[in-house]
Amino acid sequence: MSEPLLEIEDLTIQYRTDQGPLTAVSGASFTIDDGEYFGLVGESGCGKSTLAKSLLRGLDDNGEITAGSVRYRGEEIHEYGEREMNEKLRWKEISWIPQSSMNSLDPLQRVSEQALELAEVHTDLSEAAAREKFRDLFEVVGLPKDRIDDYPHQFSGGMQQRAIIALALFLDPSLIIADEPTTALDVIMQDMVFKYLDEIKEATETSLLLITHDISVVFESCESMAIMHGGQVAETGDVVELFDSPRHPYSILLQEAFPDIRHPERDLAVIEGRPPQSMGDVESCTFADRCPWAVEECRRSAPPLEEVAQDASGHHRAACFRKDEVLELYRSEGAPPVDPTSEAPQR
């Protein structure tokens, strides 16, 4: 098998706070291959943005990677200095589509000027060639070519977000990180942005790391995914595999919490409780207190992320001591009420 584009292994990220170190990401692992669309899903506060920001060294000042590694095409990128990050990685190899275009387009510059600056720093393109390339990309994202010289305020929110996608594509990056790219948009615009992301997939070799709380978007747009809970990767693998045969209780319940076109009549499940905020090292399953199938072992140690079966991509893994039995239990008996004092069952 060829080398993955991005390989995250056992990544732990903490924030210094007045109450001590807060662990936002704990032992996270997954890989993204060339050309792959990968979804990172989970509730608010589960650590998605922290993980994504760490990839481009964009963590807040009080955040730090305390363990694990991030390899990009086999190279440990956290060993790069700030200059190497700018010269080798940012925009050129990995670009970023933020949650809201408001903070990322300079309101005082024409959109084309922002592209031309990137071209000047990172390419040998003449100004005319760079403008032509940007005009073409406007077309790819469904914006009129002759609007590249507009200022951001001349665009609607949806158009601004598409202009950012054009900027993100401008240097032909191998990976685009999109952090809730449609949160600030209305439903119609959300659909359009995803339509353009789908078209980009057809037209380019770019990989996408799509961060969202909406599992159904990932099922529709991505090939692989990771589901996070409380800073841990609960499950990762091929989307079809996770859709048909989820192995982590959180993945099972999360799927039941979103509408499914196969079962439109179904009542949507509610996952009781809130995700935990972990101070210090994480030494248990962060889902244990919300899990209908938790046993004592889940509170004594953190379950490792282990392979459950061969899927199309060969990396379906789940972090649950009961990963080989919960789906069957759920299908035969439903989810029992959560019992915070549960003892280990007879096995």
Ligand X SMILES: Nc1ncnc2c1ncn2[C@@H]1O[C@H](COP(=O)(O)OP(=O)(O)OP(=O)(O)O)[C@@H](O)[C@H]1O
DSSP state of 186: -
- Total residues in contact with ligand X, by rule CB under 6 A: 17
Spatial separation of the C-alpha atoms in residues 6 and 1, rounded to whole Å: 14
| Candidate ranges 3-11, 30-38, 48-56, 318-326; the one touching ligand X (CB under 6 A) | 48-56
Residue 154 interacting with ligand X (CB under 6 A)? no
Q: Give the nearer residue to ligand X in terms of CB position, either 56 or 335.
A: 56
Angle between helices 111-122 and 127-140 (to 10 degrees): 120
Q: Kindly state the tokens that stand for 116.
A: 């031309």
Pick from 6, 8, 11, 24 the residue near ligand X by CB under 6 A: 24
Residue 273 Ramachandran class (φ > 0 left, ψ -120 to 50 alpha, else beta): left
Q: Give the nearer residue to ligand X in terms of CB position, either 145 or 274.
A: 274
| Candidate ranges 14-22, 65-73, 252-260, 323-331; the one touching ligand X (CB under 6 A) | 14-22
DSSP state of 345: P
| Contact map string, positions 196 to 235, toward ligand X, x by CB under 6 A | -----------------x----------------------
Residue 17 interacting with ligand X (CB under 6 A)? yes
Q: How far is the CB of 230 from ligand X (least distance, A)?
A: 9
| Candidate ranges 58-66, 148-156, 166-174, 286-294; the one touching ligand X (CB under 6 A) | 58-66
Pick from 48, 201, 229, 322 the residue near ligand X by CB under 6 A: 48
Within residues 26-45, the interface with ligand X by CB under 6 A covers 42, 44-45
Spatial separation of the C-alpha atoms in residues 274 and 344, rounded to whole Å: 23
Q: Kindly state the tokens that stand for 214.
A: 């909406």
Residue 60 interacting with ligand X (CB under 6 A)? yes
Within residues 272-301, the interface with ligand X by CB under 6 A covers 277
Pick from 14, 26, 31, 49 the residue near ligand X by CB under 6 A: 49
In angstroms, the first-to-last Cα distance of the chain is 37
Q: Could you tell me the strand order of the sheet in which 316-318 lies? A: 94-97, 175-179, 207-212, 37-41, 224-229, 232-238, 316-318, 306-309
Q: Give the nearer residue to ligand X in terms of CB position, either 28 or 143.
A: 28
- Residues 184, 161 contacting (CB under 8 angstroms): yes
Task: Specify the residue for token string 């949650």.
Answer: 99
Cα dihedral sign for 314, 72, 69, 89? negative
| Contact map string, positions 237 to 276, toward ligand X, x by CB under 6 A | ----------------------------------------
Spatial separation of the C-alpha atoms in residues 51 and 69, rounded to whole Å: 12
Per DSSP (E only), the strands in the chain are 6-17, 20-32, 37-41, 63-72, 75-76, 94-97, 175-179, 207-212, 224-229, 232-238, 278-279, 306-309, 316-318
Q: Give the nearer residue to ligand X in terms of CB position, either 114 or 278.
A: 278
Q: Give the nearer residue to ligand X in terms of CB position, either 11 or 137.
A: 11
Q: Give the nearer residue to ligand X in terms of CB position, either 22 or 242.
A: 22
For residue 138, give the H/E element and its range.
helix 127-140
Q: Give the nearer residue to ligand X in terms of CB position, either 226 or 320.
A: 226
Residue 57 interacting with ligand X (CB under 6 A)? no
Q: How far is the CB of 260 from ligand X (least distance, A)?
A: 22
Residue 46 interacting with ligand X (CB under 6 A)? yes
Interface residues with ligand X (CB under 6 A) are 15, 17, 22, 24, 42, 44-50, 60, 62-63, 213, 277
